[in-house]
Amino acid sequence: MLLEASLAASGIGLFCVASVFSVACLLCRNPPGRGELGVSLLLALGCVPLVAVLLLRSANTGRVPLFSTFDALTVYGVFLTIAALCFLTRHRTQGVFAILSPYVTIILIAGFPAVGVETGPVPHTVSNVVLLSHMIIAFAGYALFSLASILAFAYLIQNRNFKHRNFGVVFERLPALETLDDLMFRLVGFAFLLLTISLMLGVYLVHQSGSGAEWAADPKVVATFVTWALYAGLVHMRANAGRHGTRLALVTFIGLAFVLFSMIGVHMVAHSVHGFVQIGVAAK
Amino acid sequence: MNMNLSVLGINFRTAPIELREQASFVAADVGVALGRLCAEFPGSEAVLLSTCNRTELYTAGIDVEAKQTALIRMLLKGNGSTDLSEATRHFYTKKDLTVAEHLLAVVSGLDSMVVGETEILGQVKQAYMLAEQAQALGKALDPLFQNAFRIAKRIHTETDLCRGRVSVSSIAVEFAEKVFEDLGSKTVMIVGAGETAELSLKSLIERGAKEVLVLNRSLERALSLAERYGGRAIPYDLLDDYLPRADIVISSTSAPHCVIREATVRKAVAVRRGLPLLLIDIAVPRDIEPAAGELANVYLYDIDDLQRVAAENLAKRQESVEEARKIIREGAAEVACMFESADLREMMRRLDEFGQEVSDTVLQRMLAKEKMAALSDEAREEVRAIAQKVVAKLLAGPRESLKRAARNGQWAEYANVVSDLFRFNDRPGADRDNSEAKNDKDSRKRQ
């Protein structure tokens, strides 16, 4: 427990340093050269102890670490960071890390109090491999949707800079509107595919468990389908109707609230059949 | 500094364009001129910098004051039609440490017509490379220019001297790059044919803009402009039809009223399905209805907006001038230290030579005496060793003082005193060194 907490704290500490450094790089008039590279390295280093603590928890409990608030938020945070490091560093997206790093840090801090929480038994009526795939693919999808929302936020800031004629350092450092728009929808498309696969696996699991009616009315299932429908609309608007611009960026940004609610929020406000996913310290 | 560094040149402040044109060198001519110069002054070094705003000849090992007329004639390429005495009036000469300061100001863009422009750094680097190819660089100019590049980079990164664009056309291009980043697939529409609009168009084409549409009330002028930039001339009354195709519109007509209405832009935006549209209106009175700028995904800037950004960037640059000057002063001091350490090594060598010479002379006279003839070879060697130790002990004090003076920035004074005490200046071959030391001293006094 102490080792897990220490590892998690060190990972979060590195994310905190990365956040301060990335914001400084965005706002300082003379940022250090290769500042973005430094932020990327700090984030990658921060993921190492977090992955270690997840592996440790997996070894201790004998199952994949996805069933507590700490596990869920840490996996989400790590997936999001890895996605950002893979996607953003390949494009001219300087400045976006100043939004991403603090966001991931807040997510990780929110999960930290539940670091030692033991989770309840997982129903053994379901195939573990399918359940694992269902969950991991869903988390990967959520991470990519969130990254798209972060890019959408950068788009809205840059749009505001243009409209209000704020041509300062933030304007200078954030990427071009078209770059953000393009990346945003590539991520949404990919994430939508992952969420669809995850939902299909979920339907298969329900079919296996033989309790269809109970699952169909489950708040988490409903919330996830609403999120899926929102992004389906977004993908349609872009891919079929060829829409671009501020409004779509706004919808992509708002999508983050749906993602967070269907991923974690729904467990806090309603009883779910997904109840084996233990939420918060209170579940201990 | 005994390198006899100097610079002889003209720039946009000291000379009219007619004279600068005569002293202008293309890259191919620079190598020839440097080769001729080095042949005329063996052992000398030279770098010739020629841009539209300046022509400067940096030299080492040439007495520029004495050879000024010949050098100016060379810079004017022996142009007989030029009144040499009149031309000389426009040339300036700098020597020793002031050369380093001047070069640093030039290479950092501080001495440029548009303060902080960065093109000059590339031009100086090219001049340096041409000098290197012409084998005109040596132990004085090579380290001087290398240090200048390093210090210019420091100024560019540590100050705002080169930050932000300061011309209306370059700001328009910057905005375009901040909306689209890659201009390779973008269509630029130019309405009217003002000079600034044309400059912006030129920059956008240089950055790879895919298609150019030219609209003008006079189709003839539109055709002429389109032909020049590989674009398409469009009849003026088809503006509404072609507007949705354009990603960037630059308007600069002399029309007394708006030529692009908000309703037209609204229709274009609807057709474009939210793709951003950048409108640059550099006409007075304005060509584009200001309400168009309120539409989503439309970014409209008029001449005041662009000039405001230019003024703000220029003000930021001006604020950085003092900061840049401070770095230049530090850089010049570093260059001076670098040359002084070379001087220090030279002075030490001369002290050693002096000591050796004194001990050899005295020993020779002493051992030549009859009463010393009985001394064995072993004893003679011992006497010689003792004499050398005495000399070394005597010189240890001055050597230590010189090293300390170099560290404390008092090198020039100490070097002169030591030279006087040991009569280095009266020795054969000291004439040249003497005049250089004097110049060096004068220049340091000026510091």
**Does the pLDDT value for residue A262 go beyond 50?**
yes
CB contact under 8 A, B181 and A158: no
Judged by a CB distance cut-off of 8 A, whether residue A236 touches chain B is: no
Average pLDDT, chain B: 85
Contact B180/A177, CB-based, under 8 Å? yes
Residue B157: its chain A contacts at CB < 8 A?
30, 33
Phi, psi values for residue B158, rounded to 5°: -90, -15
Cβ distance B180 to A241 less than 8 Å, yes or no, reads: no
Give the confidence band of B52 by pLDDT, cuts at 50, 70, 90.
Answer: confident
Q: Does A33 touch chain B (CB under 8 A)?
A: yes
A37: amino acid identity, one letter: L
Which one of B38, B52, B162, B337 is the catalytic residue? B52
pLDDT exceeds cutoff 60 at B365: yes
Q: Lowest mean pLDDT: which of A46-50, A274-278, B237-241?
A: A274-278
Amino acid occupying residue B426: D
Q: CA torsion sign, A258 to A261 to A262 to A266? A: negative
Give the nearest partner residue to A176 out of B160, B178, B293, using CB atoms.
B178
What average pLDDT score do residues B416-426 get? 76
pLDDT of residue A196: 96
Give the type of residue at A74.
T
User: Which segments of chain A does DSSP mark as H helices, in order?
Assistant: 2-27, 35-61, 69-87, 97-111, 128-163, 169-173, 177-209, 212-216, 219-239, 246-260, 266-269
- Count how many pairs of residues, chain A against chain B, have C-beta atoms within 8 Å: 56
- Which of B157, B177, B275 minimises the CB distance to A245? B275
Residues A167, B179: C-beta atoms closer than 8 Å = no
Residue in A165, A175, A178 closest to B305 by CB: A165
Structure confidence at residue B433 (pLDDT): 46
What confidence category does residue B411 fall into, taking pLDDT thresholds of 50, 70 and 90? low
| Annotation says B52 is catalytic | yes
Q: So what's the pLDDT on residue A33?
A: 64
- CA of A172: how far to CAs of A162, B113, B157, B365, in Å? 11, 25, 15, 80
Please give the model's pTM, rounded to 2 decimal places: 0.72
pLDDT given for residue B403 in this prediction: 76
- Would you state the pLDDT for residue B115? 87
Distance between CA atoms of residues B137 and B5, nearest Å: 12
Q: Is the model more confident about B364 or about B106? A: B106
Lowest mean pLDDT segment, chosen from A10-24, A62-76, B275-289, B311-325: A62-76
Task: Kindly tell me if the per-residue pLDDT of B444 is higher than 50.
Answer: no
Whether residue B409 is predicted with pLDDT greater than 80 in this model: the reply is: no
pLDDT digits (tens, 9 = 90+) for B78-137: 665 667 888 899 999 998 888 999 999 999 999 988 888 888 999 999 999 999 999 999
Lowest-confidence segment of A113-117, A171-175, B153-157 by average pLDDT: A113-117
A176 interfaces chain B, CB cutoff of 8 Å: yes
Whether B275 and A244 lie within 8 Å, measured CB to CB:
yes
DSSP codes, A46-100: HHHHHHHHHHHHHHHHSS-S-SBHHHHHHHHHHHHHHHHHHHGGGTT-TTTHHHH
pLDDT at B363 over 90: no
Contact B284, B257 (CB under 8 A): no
Is the predicted pLDDT of residue B57 greater than 50, yes or no? yes
The verdict on a CB contact (< 8 Å) between A29 and B299 is no
Distance in angstroms (rounded) separating the CA atoms of residues B49 and B238:
50
Q: Which two tokens stand for residue A117?
A: 């929480």
Q: At CA B310, angle to CA B309 and CA B313, rounded to 5? A: 85
pLDDT of residue A281: 35
Task: Tell me the CB-side half-sphere exposure of residue A243, using CA atoms within 13 A.
Answer: 15
Rounded CA-CA distance B117/B109 in Å is 5
Q: List, for residues A175-207, the tens digit of each pLDDT value.
A: 999 999 999 999 999 999 999 999 999 888 888
Kindly report which listed range (A67-71, A114-118, B376-380, B429-433) carries the lowest average pLDDT score: B429-433
With 60 as the cut, is the pLDDT of residue B432 above it?
no
CB contact under 8 A, A158 and B158: no
Task: Find, in chain A, the residue whose alpha carbon is nearest to that of B275.
Answer: A244
Query: Across residues A137-145, what is the average pLDDT?
Result: 95
- Identify the closest residue of chain B to A246 by CA–CA distance: B297
Give residue A121's pLDDT band: very low, low, confident or very high (50, 70, 90).
low
What pLDDT, on the 0 to 100 scale, is given for residue B445? 43
For residue A123, what pLDDT is reported? 59
Residue with tokens 């084996």: A276
